[in-house]
């Protein structure tokens, strides 16, 4: 269903239910194959024990496959063999057990709305199998979300963390845009004679504003076209470095970094929008200053309004920078305070040991 081809061996699809029951099979991850069997090519057919139960290795998953959840498991078993690993529990026959997530693939021509309607029908039938006094017998609807390792409904803390990160990124973008607006004002001051000449020759103020906005939009578009491939290259190098530096004993780390047309279009749209938004005030002020100079017949000093606009942009940059610096300082101070909190014992002479027992051994 996932369309994953094994690195070595085969998968459960080629084995029938009777074969799996007669000879319990297991798939191991490439990471576990590397650190436990030293990438032995003869690993297929060997037996390992999981919670004391023997399983035969029939395949090794590819290195970029980490499963369907945020965890990185070392073993994959058919659901029918779970009682062998957890003999004290019976989750397959417990209707109130919710430890499973169901993944499916839409049939050709089917839509997510149709799948939602069918799963709601199944959910309404399942609730009739529970006791009428149970909370599981209440009306409920199945939730269908696009396939992702992340849960369909994120925890509030995770949402809050993502919002904080997006807020910090937005503030950095505002700083950059304000800086560009200040540079555009300074550049327009240097072009005041040119703009005044255009007005004297019959150009309207609106035409000058459109010209300056077009220049701002082109600058934003060019910046987005340069930023996207540069960011993708940097992220790819960083992902490769993190993957190689991640210790094998800690598990599998897979970072998928690939260009996406939707993200590229989004970056270009944001770049053009930011260029137009933060180029509007400089364009209006520049055309006003040029009109003022054309009326006077000479290029005078910048009007007080133009200077105030530049001062406002500079003050905004400083204010946002101070907010980011204060927030970052508080975060660093909180982290240092957490590391320095008393643990109740002298940690200078305490050693933390990690014991790894062979499969099947218990304590």
The domain ranges of the chain are 8-103, 106-146, 156-338
* Confidence label for 126 from pLDDT (cuts 50, 70 and 90): confident
Which residues, listed in sequence order, are joined to residue 49 by a DSSP beta bridge?
A: 54
* Confidence label for 306 from pLDDT (cuts 50, 70 and 90): low
Q: What is the mean pLDDT of the chain?
A: 77
Do 212 and 276 touch, CB atoms closer than 8 A? no
Do 257 and 235 touch, CB atoms closer than 8 A? yes
- What is the per-residue pLDDT for 299? 47
**Strands, DSSP E only, in 182-315?**
none
Round to whole Å and give the CA distance between 153 and 304. 53
Which residues, listed in sequence order, are joined to residue 53 by a DSSP beta bridge?
A: 50
- 85 Rama sector, left if φ>0, alpha if ψ -120 to 50, beta otherwise: alpha
- What is the per-residue pLDDT for 65? 81
pTM of the model: 0.54
Residue 303 has pLDDT above 60, yes or no: no
pLDDT tens digit string along 31-89? 888 888 888 889 998 999 888 888 999 999 888 787 777 667 888 888 888 888 877 77
Interval 305-321 mean pLDDT:
77
- What is the per-residue pLDDT for 245? 77
pLDDT tens digit string along 140-183? 677 777 776 555 566 677 778 888 888 888 888 888 888 887 77
Do 104 and 1 touch, CB atoms closer than 8 A? yes
Among candidate residues 311, 265, 275, the one with its CA nearest the CA of residue 173: 275
Interval 127-150 mean pLDDT:
71
Sorted by sequence, the CB contacts under 8 Å of residue 305 that are 6+ apart come out as 285, 288
């Amino acid at each position: 269903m996932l369309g994953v081809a094994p690195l070595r061996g085969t998968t459960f699809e080629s084995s029938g239910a009777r074969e799996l029951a007669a000879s319990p099979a297991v798939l191991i991850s490439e990471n576990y194959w590397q650190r436990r069997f030293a990438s032995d090519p003869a690993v297929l057919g060997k037996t390992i024990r999981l919670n004391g139960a023997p399983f035969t290795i029939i395949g090794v998953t590819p290195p970029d496959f980490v499963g369907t959840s945020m965890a990185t498991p070392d073993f994959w078993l058919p659901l029918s063999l779970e009682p062998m690993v957890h003999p004290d529990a019976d989750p397959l026959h417990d209707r109130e057990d919710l430890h499973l997530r169901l993944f499916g693939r839409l049939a050709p021509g089917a839509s997510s709305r149709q799948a939602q309607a069918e799963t709601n029908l199944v959910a309404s039938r399942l609730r009739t199998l529970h006791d009428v006094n149970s909370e599981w017998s209440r009306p409920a609807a199945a939730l269908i979300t696009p396939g992702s390792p992340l849960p369909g409904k994120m925890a509030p803390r995770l949402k809050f963390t993502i919002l904080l990160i997006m807020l910090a990124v937005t503030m950095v973008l505002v700083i950059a845009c304000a800086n560009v607006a200040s540079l555009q004002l300074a550049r327009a001051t240097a072009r005041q004679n040119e703009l005044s000449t255009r007005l004297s020759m019959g150009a309207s103020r609106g035409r000058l504003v459109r010209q300056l906005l077009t220049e701002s939009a082109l600058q934003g578009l060019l910046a987005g076209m340069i930023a996207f491939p540069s960011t993708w290259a940097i992220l790819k190098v960083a992902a490769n470095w993190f993957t190689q530096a991640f210790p094998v004993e800690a598990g599998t780390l897979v970072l998928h970094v690939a260009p996406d047309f939707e993200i590229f279009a989004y970056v270009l749209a944001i770049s053009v929008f930011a260029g137009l938004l933060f180029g509007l005030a400089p364009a209006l002020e520049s055309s006003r200053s040029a009109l003022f100079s054309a009326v006077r017949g000479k290029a005078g000093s910048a009007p007080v309004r133009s200077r105030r606009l530049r001062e406002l942009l500079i003050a905004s940059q400083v204010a946002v920078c101070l907010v980011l610096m204060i927030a970052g300082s508080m975060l660093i101070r909180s982290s240092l305070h957490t590391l320095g909190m008393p643990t109740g014992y002298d940690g200078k002479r305490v050693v933390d040991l990690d014991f790894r027992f062979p499969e099947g051994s218990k304590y």
